[in-house]
Amino acid sequence: MASTQLACPGDRLGRASEFTSGPGTYTRGPHIFASLVGPVLQQEGAEGGLPVITVRGGRNAQDQVIEVGDVVMARVTRVRALLASVEILCAGETVLREAYNGIIKKEDVRATEVDRVDMGQSFRPGDIVRARVSSLGDARQYYLTTAAPDLGVRWAKSDASGAIMVPVSWQEMQCPVTGVREPRKCARPDAS
C-alpha cells in the first residue's frame, strides 16, 4: 500500500511493537526510523505477522527552486569556527537533482545564548541536518538556520563505533553501542 508520507533520514515511522522494520528503515529502541529519503510504504507481514514498514529510496530527483522559508535536509561538509558548510539534498518533499551549497552561520545555530555557540560542538562533517532557508544568500550558497526546536542534526554516526546515534537531549547524541555521548545541536526527535 503506497503512502503520501515522505520520509527523511531520522524520521520516526512507527512503533516496533506494531510494525516490522523493512528496507530503508532501522529500529532504535521501541521505534522504527527512516534511513533513506523516499515514500513510506506498508505491506502485509509474512504468514500473518506484523505489517512491514519500508522507505522506498531512489525517488526521482527534480529541479527545484529553493525559496526563503523552505525546510531542507542537508549534509554537513565542513565545520569552521564561525560557520558550517552544507550540501542541500532535499527541499520540502523534493529530492534535488543536484546538491546546492549552503551555510549555517554561528548566530543562526540556535535562538538563545547565541554568543555561547561552539560550531564544533554543534555539527560534524557527515551529519544530516534539518534546516530552514533564511536567505537566498549570494550566487554561491544559501543561508540556513537551525534556530528552532524542530531544526538541527537528525542523523549522525558515532566517532567511536560508526553506529547511528540517538538524541538524548537538544544538545547531545549517544552511541547505542558504546554509550559514549557526543555534542550536537539536535532536532527534536519527533519533528516531521
pLDDT tens readout for residues 155-175? 898 887 888 888 888 888 988
Q: Are residues 15 and 80 in the same domain?
A: no
**Residue 106 maps to a domain:** yes
Q: Are residues 130 and 101 in the same domain?
A: yes
Which CATH number goes with the domain that contains 51?
2.40.50.100
Question: What digits encode the pLDDT tens for the residues 22-49?
Answer: 888 888 888 888 877 778 888 887 777 8
Which of the pair, 36 or 74, is modelled with greater confidence? 74
Per the structure, the count of domains in the chain is 2
The pLDDT value recorded for residue 64 is: 57
**Residue 123 maps to a domain:** yes
Q: Are residues 17 and 84 in the same domain?
A: no
Q: Are residues 51 and 76 in the same domain?
A: no
Q: What is the mean pLDDT of the chain?
A: 84
Q: Are residues 77 and 145 in the same domain?
A: yes
The pLDDT value recorded for residue 192 is: 46
**Cβ proximity of 104 and 123 under 8 Å:** yes
For residue 164, what are the CA distances in angstroms to 63, 91, 113, 155, 156?
30, 23, 28, 7, 6
Q: Are residues 82 and 10 in the same domain?
A: no
**Residue 181 maps to a domain:** no
Residue range(s) defining the domain that contains residue 103: 71-152
Q: Which three cell numbers stand for residue 144?
A: 540556513
Q: Which three cell numbers stand for residue 84?
A: 558550517
The residue written with cell numbers 538524548 in the block is 168
Please give the Cα distance from 144 to 190 (Å, whole number): 21
Q: Are residues 120 and 47 in the same domain?
A: no
**Residue 130 maps to a domain:** yes
Please give the Cα distance from 167 to 175 (Å, whole number): 9
Q: Are residues 48 and 114 in the same domain?
A: no
**pTM (two decimals):** 0.68
**Residue 135 maps to a domain:** yes
Q: Are residues 77 and 132 in the same domain?
A: yes
